[in-house]
């Protein structure tokens, strides 16, 4: 804690673990704290004080539930939380600061994702994720009357904020055809107004395509949701299956990868972005299905996705590719190896693990319990993890593959990509391998993002458009010369 008047800095919590501060009470004497236990969906709530007293736990130790901390009520009697305790979906409640008792304010059959309160404690606004689309709800806490909120554009919002007097709501919002911009809502007038106007510098948004929200049947009877983008044109088209990372994340109807989906659509390639089991947004049971089952039911869902796509008359069944990052990259490698009989046209793997045993062993000590709960123990579960690892089945991969990797990745070390690339090159399989020496997990530098996605676009268009040849001006290929990727100089262009 940094005391601003005295400039004193001192430690006020010494419990260790993975802890995240919440919010200060109105009088500045108490701070909420969330402790993350074995998984990202297992939290405890503590209350700590500035006087150095022992932290006080407000949640049962034996319960497994999420608690996302919101602002305090104006009178200091409690604070807002988003929790799924005793529920399938995350609802909105107040938590009593003395007893920890919850009073539910909204319990929809979808997840409440954000909450904001005006400084005067009167206007409460929260964001509900309805099939990936954001829906705002509000309430006047003084009168107890619900506030009628205007309908948002069909997209996803985040960064929810309420002005001090409760008149305005501000958030960032993106749609499938519009980049992230800042949106203001005037609650008195019920009007929306864009405060920023970020737009593509070259492409014409009028040509962009909206996705269709679809559901396809899985082999166990579940309905798997996804966003299907269809390119313009009557001829059968190639399609890219885009798999999100996480796996505890959710594909959303936003301007993905700075318009990468729209770029492919402009070149006549469709995109299908499913939320296979393990995804967030569809209840705790659905998201927990992937824990200790990587490459199990999730891979079956992807096989079912291919069957669904091949049943669509506008899709060329011989031109289906797959792309993903991190966990999504693991899914790409799993598809190409363990589902090789589906005859994939191409794959793009962004820093995906190929060996679950070496991945688990390389995790930092503070991540060991999480890795064991989500992936498995590298010693006790070694046989199962190796059976599910793409490197075990690498000799079945026939499809052209592009691999992108950060040289300094602490989560998915470079060795994960090196070993799969070496196996494929030893068999003469087409592999394009790009290693970014100045990146870790994910591509943070804008020039690297531009380079990687430009090259991925060229690679996918060449293999999914079915006409041969390359597009763009990449200038050279690194397919056969991996050492060219390993120099200390920055690569020239997510």
pLDDT of residue 267: 95
pLDDT at 12 over 90: no
Model pLDDT, residue 494: 25
- Look at residue 468 and tell me whether its pLDDT is greater than 50: no
Specify the pairing of strand 237-243 against strand 270-274: parallel
Q: Which of 41-45, 64-68, 354-358, 486-490 has the lowest mean pLDDT?
A: 486-490
Residue 65 DSSP label: -
pLDDT over 70 at 102, yes or no: yes
pLDDT of amino acid 14:
85
pLDDT of residue 38: 77
Residue 293 vs residue 475, higher pLDDT = 293
Average pLDDT over the chain, rounded to whole? 91
What mean pLDDT do residues 202-216 have?
95
Statement: residue 236 has pLDDT above 70 = yes
Does the pLDDT of residue 290 top 80, yes or no? yes
Residue 171 is predicted with a pLDDT of 98
- For residue 161, the cross-strand partners are 170
> In terms of DSSP bridges, do strands 67-72 and 78-83 run parallel, antiparallel, or are they unpaired?
antiparallel
Residue 363, number of CB atoms within 10 A of its CB: 18
pLDDT for the residue numbered 33: 95
| Cα separation values, 225 from 75, 86, 110, 300, 445, Å | 42, 25, 14, 14, 32
Q: CB-based contacts of 420: which residues, under 8 Å, 6+ apart?
A: 333, 349, 354, 390, 391, 394, 403
Cα separation, 32 vs 375, in Å, equals 30
DSSP state of 463: H
What is the model's pTM?
0.90
């Amino acid at each position: 804690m940094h005391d601003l008047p005295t400039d004193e800095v001192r430690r006020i919590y010494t419990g260790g673990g993975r802890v995240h501060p919440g919010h200060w009470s109105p009088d500045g004497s108490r701070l909420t704290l969330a402790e993350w236990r074995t998984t990202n969906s297992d939290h405890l709530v503590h209350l700590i004080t500035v006087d150095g007293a022992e932290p006080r736990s407000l949640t049962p130790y034996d319960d497994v539930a999420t608690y996302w901390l919101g602002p305090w009520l104006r009178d200091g009697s409690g604070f807002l939380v988003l929790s799924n305790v005793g529920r399938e979906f995350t609802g909105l409640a107040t938590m009593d600061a003395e007893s920890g008792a919850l009073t539910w304010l909204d319990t929809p059959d979808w997840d409440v994702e954000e909450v904001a309160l005006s400084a005067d404690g009167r206007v409460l606004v929260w964001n509900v994720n309805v099939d990936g689309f954001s829906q705002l709800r509000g309430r006047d806490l003084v009168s107890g009357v619900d506030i009628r909120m205007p309908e948002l554009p069909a997209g996803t919002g985040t960064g929810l904020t309420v002005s001090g007097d409760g008149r305005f709501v501000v958030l960032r919002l993106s749609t499938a055809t519009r980049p992230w911009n800042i949106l203001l809502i005037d609650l008195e007038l019920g009007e929306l107004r864009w405060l920023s106007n970020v737009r593509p510098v070259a492409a014409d948004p009028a040509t962009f395509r909206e996705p269709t929200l679809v559901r396809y049947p899985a082999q166990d009877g579940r309905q798997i949701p996804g966003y299907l983008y269809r390119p313009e044109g009557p001829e059968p088209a190639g399609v890219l299956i885009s798999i999100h990372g996480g796996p505890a994340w959710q594909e959303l109807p936003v301007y993905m990868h700075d318009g990468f989906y729209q770029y492919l659509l402009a070149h006549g390639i469709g995109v299908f972005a499913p939320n296979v089991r393990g995804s967030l947004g569809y209840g705790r049971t659905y998201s927990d299905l992937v824990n200790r089952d990587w490459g199990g039911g999730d891979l079956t869902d992807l096989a079912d996705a291919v069957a669904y796509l091949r049943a669509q008359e506008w899709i060329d069944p011989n031109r289906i590719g797959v792309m993903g990052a991190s966990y999504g990259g693991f899914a790409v490698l799993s598809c190409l190896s363990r589902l090789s009989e589906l005859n994939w046209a191409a794959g793009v793997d962004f820093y995906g693990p190929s060996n679950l045993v070496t991945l688990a062993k390389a995790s930092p000590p503070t991540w060991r319990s999480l890795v064991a709960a989500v992936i498995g123990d590298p010693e006790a579960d070694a046989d199962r993890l190796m059976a599910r690892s793409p490197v075990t089945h690498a000799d079945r991969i026939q499809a052209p593959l592009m691999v992108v990797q950060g040289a300094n990745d602490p989560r998915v070390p470079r060795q994960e990509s090196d070993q799969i690339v070496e196996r494929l090159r030893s068999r003469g399989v087409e592999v394009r391998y790009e290693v970014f020496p100045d990146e870790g997990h994910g591509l943070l530098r804008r020039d690297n993002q531009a380079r990687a996605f430009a090259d991925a676009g060229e690679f996918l268009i060449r293999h999914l458009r079915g006409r041969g040849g390359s597009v763009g001006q990449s200038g050279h290929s690194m397919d056969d010369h991996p050492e060219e990727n390993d120099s200390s100089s920055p690569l020239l262009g997510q």
